[in-house]
């Protein structure tokens, strides 16, 4: 049993043959259940009601059980790929048809009851898959097929699938005695519940800082207007990214910036500081039962690095490469702090970091974020994003009028191949923050591509972001960082939709976790290129294209904090590895202590005292022992973009080749083979180091 669903659940905490459903079972009273939709149909989200998710869950779990029974009923002497392996892929597809949308609803729906129901549904699906992962009869059936002439002579993706299934069963403990397998299933079920609770605590956490007129000094007038509560006569700064970022960049009140940083860094601290050791312990129990020294050793055996030692060496090498530059950046910030305060400064506090970086950007590089934002109005950025990706990758997007969505602000599009005119898939954009919505930016897979004979199941995905809402006469203006985030996440979406993989488990972003970020990281380069920026970076009032001198200043400032920023990535990756590779003593050191110790070793600014940043480090759930993958895949992304730089950043032939060679196969091939084929050589880190200014 391929361990896809355990990973998919973790990732969603972000990133079908449709076997026909019985007509009666797809009805709820006289109303059709929106989650029991047909082949290449979309979900009628506007009609989703309490009870629908669990009702649909029951239907597809029953259908999946029927598929399993049919596989098990085949005599071992008659086993083929089509009656043993392919139905298993169909089973994953059937469950994913409800599990994936439920995971999205858990993060974005406005109804608490529906979000809770979605969480309950994900637990049921996870339990089903956990049981399947140690189903001895199914494992024996797959092994029996592997011993047939057909099984022995498989090649290409079919051989990859068979090998992956057998390896996954073995890695899930199929060789353990029955009572141990049952114990392992209990551990995995406990882990599922802990991880859902961990993510829910983060996404539903809210806090607000009450701020006076004086404490708002330094912030832009438009921001003040948007934060003012006329009923209470005060300013209210919540901890969402759009609110917090501007305040931390501009407020001249150090005391108030510190107070906001305390609120932000203590998100979900009361609950999650206690939860993290619990799910870490469950993961270590799992590793112990399976014969691994640590959970990191277990996970990495099946990833590109293969061993924890490789990841530790990678993080250490990156830390050392960044040290000189990050120290120079610190010294520069200390100069600005000294100048600002009139006394010699020797340390930088977290609540000063963004403020001082902004001062440096304005004074040294003459880059004012508020000036830059005038050229990145959300709709203009969206138009540019669409123009670039359509031209480069051979795509065409059409809006869906009056779509059935989970919130009135959500947009829906169809994606076509520009040459053939064929429909490729559908995608949604949920762009603005609201209460109880996923608080970062992520792509959520809803339906994965999959071949059924002559027909192909069209993928569906949703992009969830938290870009500022328009206020008064001012439209939604993005920082350049936010525009970069938009391009990054849209890279995930394209990866998910342009897939041509035959099998569910490999389609779209169904690739190795340490490669999945590369197709999104490469997209960030298009917002740092003069030629492409001129296509869409236009002043929201005058439509004047962004001036060359401003572009030059922005590009000069591109790597102003690259050392510190990537050191922070090393810090997070090292926390992840430390906790999952047994490099701490839970009896004598809390997870907060671990984070503080590593912070002092790796970073050269001070954390806000009395806070627990680790409590909201959501990647501990989804990227367990995998956070190194952001830097790992960035090396590959920058190397691949070097081809675009050489052949033309808007070259449709290069873009089409990238789409067909790297994106379309998904996980059907080893990711390094995809990279080598696109590059025409072995990858290296030269472009990556250059991109950081090293």
Q: Which residues are catalytic?
A: 489
DSSP H or E stretch at residue 417? strand 411-417
Contact 533, 558 (CB under 8 A): no
- Which residue, among 86, 102, 90, 182, has the nearest Cα to 134 in the 3D structure? 182
CA distance 504 to 93: 6
- Supply φ then ψ for residue 611, to 5 degrees: -120, 165
The DSSP result for 436-497, as a single string, is TS--S-EEEEEE--EEETTEEEPPEEEEE--PPPPBTTB--B--HHHHHHHHHHHHHHHHHH
CA distance 128 to 130: 5
- Which residue, among 687, 675, 591, has the nearest Cα to 198 in the 3D structure? 591
DSSP 93: H
The DSSP result for 127-151, as a single string, is HHHHHHHT-HHHHHHHHHHHTSHHH
The DSSP result for 180-215, as a single string, is HHHHHHHHHHHHHHHHHHHHHHHHT---EEEE-TGG
CA distance 485 to 656: 23
CA distance 524 to 228: 34
CA distance 374 to 550: 12
- Supply φ then ψ for residue 675, to 5 degrees: -65, -45
- For the chain, how big is the Rg over CA atoms in Å? 25
Q: Classify 392 in phi/psi space as left (phi over 0), alpha (psi -120 to 50) or beta.
A: alpha
User: What's the first-to-final CA gap in the chain, in angstroms?
Assistant: 44
- Which residue, among 380, 463, 453, has the nearest Cα to 425 in the 3D structure? 463
For β-strands 234-238 and 208-211, DSSP reports them as: antiparallel
């Amino acid at each position: 049993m391929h361990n896809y669903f355990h990973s998919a659940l973790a990732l969603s905490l972000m990133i079908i043959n449709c076997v026909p459903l019985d007509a009666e079972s797809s009805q709820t009273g006289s109303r059709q259940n929106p989650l029991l939709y047909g082949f290449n149909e979309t979900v009628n989200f506007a009609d989703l009601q309490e009870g629908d998710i669990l009702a649909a869950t029951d239907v597809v779990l029953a259908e999946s059980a029927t598929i399993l029974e049919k596989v098990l009923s085949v005599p071992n002497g008659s086993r083929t790929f089509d009656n043993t392996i392919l139905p298993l892929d169909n089973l994953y597809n059937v469950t994913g048809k409800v599990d994936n949308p439920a995971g999205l609803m858990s993060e974005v729906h406005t109804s608490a009851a529906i979000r809770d129901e979605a969480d309950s549904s994900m637990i049921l699906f996870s339990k089903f898959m956990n049981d399947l992962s140690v189903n001895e009869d199914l494992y024996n059936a797959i092994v029996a097929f592997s011993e047939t002439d057909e099984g022995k002579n498989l090649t290409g993706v079919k051989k990859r699938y068979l090998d992956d299934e057998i390896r996954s069963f073995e890695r899930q403990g199929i060789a353990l005695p029955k009572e141990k397998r049952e114990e392992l299933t209990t551990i995995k079920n406990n882990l599922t519940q802990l991880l859902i609770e961990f993510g829910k605590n983060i996404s539903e956490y809210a806090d607000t800082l009450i701020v006076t007129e004086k404490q708002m000094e330094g912030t832009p007038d438009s921001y003040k207007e948007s934060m003012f509560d006329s009923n209470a006569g005060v300013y209210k700064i919540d901890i969402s990214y759009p609110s917090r970022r501007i305040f931390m960049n501009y407020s001249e009140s150090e005391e108030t910036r510190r107070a906001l940083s305390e609120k932000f860094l203590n998100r979900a601290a009361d609950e999650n500081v206690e939860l993290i050791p619990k799910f870490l312990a469950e993961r270590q129990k799992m590793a112990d039962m399976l014969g691994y020294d640590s959970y990191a050793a277990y996970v990495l055996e099946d990833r590109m690095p293969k061993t924890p030692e490789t990841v530790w060496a990678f993080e250490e090498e990156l830390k050392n490469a960044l040290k000189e530059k990050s120290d120079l950046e610190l010294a520069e910030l200390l100069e600005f702090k000294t100048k600002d305060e009139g006394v010699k400064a020797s340390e930088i506090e977290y609540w000063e970091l963004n403020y001082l970086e902004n001062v440096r950007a304005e004074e040294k590089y003459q880059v004012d974020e508020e000036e830059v934002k005038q050229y990145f109005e959300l709709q203009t950025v969206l138009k540019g994003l669409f123009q670039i990706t359509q031209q480069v990758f051979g795509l065409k997007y059409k809006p869906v009028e009056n779509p059935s969505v989970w919130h009135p602000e959500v947009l829906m599009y169809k994606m076509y191949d520009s040459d053939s005119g064929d429909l490729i898939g559908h995608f949604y954009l949920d762009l603005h923050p609201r209460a109880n919505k996923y608080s970062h930016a992520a792509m959520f897979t809803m339906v994965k591509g999959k071949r059924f004979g002559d027909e192909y199941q069209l993928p569906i995905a949703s992009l969830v972001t938290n870009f500022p809402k328009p206020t008064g006469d001012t439209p939604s203006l993005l920082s350049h960082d936010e525009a970069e985030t938009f391009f990054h996440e849209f890279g995930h979406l394209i990866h998910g939709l342009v897939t041509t993989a035959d099998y569910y488990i490999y389609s779209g972003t169904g690739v190795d976790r340490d490669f999945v970020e590369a197709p999104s990281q490469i997209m960030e380069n298009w917002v740092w290129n003069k030629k492409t920026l001129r296509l869409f970076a236009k002043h929201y009032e005058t439509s004047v294209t962004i001036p060359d001198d401003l572009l030059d200043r922005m590009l000069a400032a591109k790597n102003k904090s690259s050392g510190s920023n990537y050191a922070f990535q090393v810090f997070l990756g090292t926390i992840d590895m430390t906790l999952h590779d047994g490099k701490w003593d839970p009896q004598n050191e809390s997870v907060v202590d671990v984070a503080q110790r590593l912070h002092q070793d790796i970073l050269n600014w001070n954390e806000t005292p009395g806070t627990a940043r680790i409590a909201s480090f959501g990647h501990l759930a989804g990227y367990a022992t995998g956070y190194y993958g952001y830097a790992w895949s960035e090396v590959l992304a920058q190397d691949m973009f070097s081809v675009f730089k050489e052949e033309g950043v808007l070259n449709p032939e290069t873009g089409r080749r990238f789409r067909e060679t790297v994106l379309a196969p998904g996980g059907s091939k080893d990711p390094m083979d995809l990279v080598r084929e696109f590059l025409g050589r072995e990858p290296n880190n030269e472009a990556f180091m250059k991109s950081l200014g090293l």
